[in-house]
């Protein structure tokens, strides 16, 4: 061991100071490089872990995560209620969360466009009504193309009901037509939007009966029914179940479709009353983005079709005034194409021009 006297004193020369400064800088650089390599290693590990998780998720059997159902109607109507019933059952069936997203606008076109532009992986699907398909032929610049959607299954037929305010004292459709002829232009009818099922049928009724009515479009049936009950419009076209909930404030005069409904046996069809209106009726169905793989389409069609056939679901649908179906994919695809042509022709006959 060196004695205190023999220890070498620090070099206090300028050259010694420079050497020591350089050593400190080099040590700091080495430390920073070690920190940088550590951060890079952590980042690479995280990327690898995320990639592995994403790969595992993509390769896992469908479905393995949340499913989103887009409903192109406001919350509160019967179609929205039906979508929530099916979402709950579907979630229990596939073991994954299923949520409802209401996306309104352009007679259902905005919601349809959202689904059409989504990744075709079965995790974003559309619950549509006839209005959604009608919008393609009744808008000059529709927000989506029919070819961008893949039909999955038809849920139900949705006969459209026609109801008037109770204070009009029109107990029958003949009474209403007589009143409209006595006061041309004084009566109005609400629908769920321009070019909707109710709009087309309303104009068709006016043409067939030789009467004039003012069309009042709404963004969904709930606000239309609210205004009917509040006395702001004379009549409305909406779901039979929605209108039938308020017998003390609104009178159902007729329904579309080929026959009377089990839950509403006293309400005649337009056809019975001499207004065939081309046999038009509404419907509800499920769609996915067009490029969705066929096995996923088939899985969804099987699950949803089974749910529609459940006794408790059928009972709810009948209460809403719907006719449960649950058709398979191929018949539904042919039906959709035929419906697009039929409604476009009906709109033209009713004098409704594309907007």
* Binned average pLDDT, 10 residues per bin, the chain of 355 residues: 46 52 55 58 55 52 96 87 95 97 88 96 94 78 90 92 95 96 94 88 92 92 94 95 93 92 92 80 92 96 94 92 80 85 81 76
What pLDDT score does 23 carry? Answer: 57
| Short-list 211, 206, 190, 204, CA closest to 350 | 204
Locate 292 and state its tokens.
Answer: 């969705």
Model-level pTM?
Answer: 0.75
* Neighbouring residues of 179: CB distance < 8 A, sequence distance ≥ 6: 168, 170, 187
Q: Coil, strand or helix: which one is 19?
A: helix
What pLDDT score does 105 carry? Answer: 83
Locate 94 and state its tokens.
Answer: 């596939």
What pLDDT score does 289 carry? Answer: 97
Could you give the angle at the alpha carbon of 321 between the alpha carbons of 319 and 327, nearest 5°? Answer: 105
d(CA 132, CA 106): 9
What pLDDT score does 343 carry? Answer: 81
What pLDDT score does 282 carry? Answer: 84
């Amino acid at each position: 061991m060196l004695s205190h006297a023999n220890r070498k004193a620090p070099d206090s020369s300028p050259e010694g100071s420079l050497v020591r400064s350089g050593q400190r800088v080099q040590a700091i650089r080495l430390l920073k490089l070690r920190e940088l390599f550590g951060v890079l290693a952590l980042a690479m590990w995280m990327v690898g872990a995320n990639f592995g998780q994403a790969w595992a998720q993509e390769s896992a059997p469908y479905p393995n995560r949340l499913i989103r159902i887009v409903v192109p109607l406001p919350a509160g109507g019967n179609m929205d209620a039906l979508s929530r019933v099916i979402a709950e059952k579907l979630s229990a069936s596939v073991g994954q969360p299923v949520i409802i997203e209401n996306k309104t606008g352009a007679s259902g076109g905005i919601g349809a466009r959202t689904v059409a532009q989504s990744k075709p992986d079965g995790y974003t699907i559309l619950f549509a009504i006839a209005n959604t398909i009608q919008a393609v032929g009744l808008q000059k610049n529709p927000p989506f193309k029919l070819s961008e959607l893949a039909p999955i299954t038809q849920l139900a037929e949705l006969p459209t009901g026609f109801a008037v305010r109770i204070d009009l004292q029109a107990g029958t459709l003949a009474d209403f037509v007589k009143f409209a002829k006595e006061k041309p232009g004084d009566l109005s009818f609400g629908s769920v939007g321009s070019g909707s099922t109710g709009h087309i049928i309303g104009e068709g009724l006016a043409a067939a009966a030789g009467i004039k009515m003012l069309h009042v479009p709404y963004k969904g049936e709930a606000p239309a029914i609210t205004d009917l009950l509040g006395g702001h419009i004379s009549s409305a076209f909406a779901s039979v179940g929605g209108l039938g909930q308020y017998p003390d404030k609104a009178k159902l005069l007729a329904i579309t479709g080929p026959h009377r409904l089990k839950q509403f046996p006293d309400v005649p069809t337009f056809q019975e009353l001499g207004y065939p209106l081309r046999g038009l009726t509404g419907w509800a169905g499920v769609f996915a983005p067009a490029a969705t793989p066929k096995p996923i389409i088939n899985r969804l069609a099987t699950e949803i079709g089974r749910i529609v056939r459940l006794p408790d679901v059928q009972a709810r649908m009948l209460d809403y005034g719907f006719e449960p179906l649950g058709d398979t994919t191929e018949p539904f695809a042919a039906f959709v194409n035929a419906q697009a042509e039929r409604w476009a022709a009906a709109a033209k006959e009713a004098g409704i021009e594309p907007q």
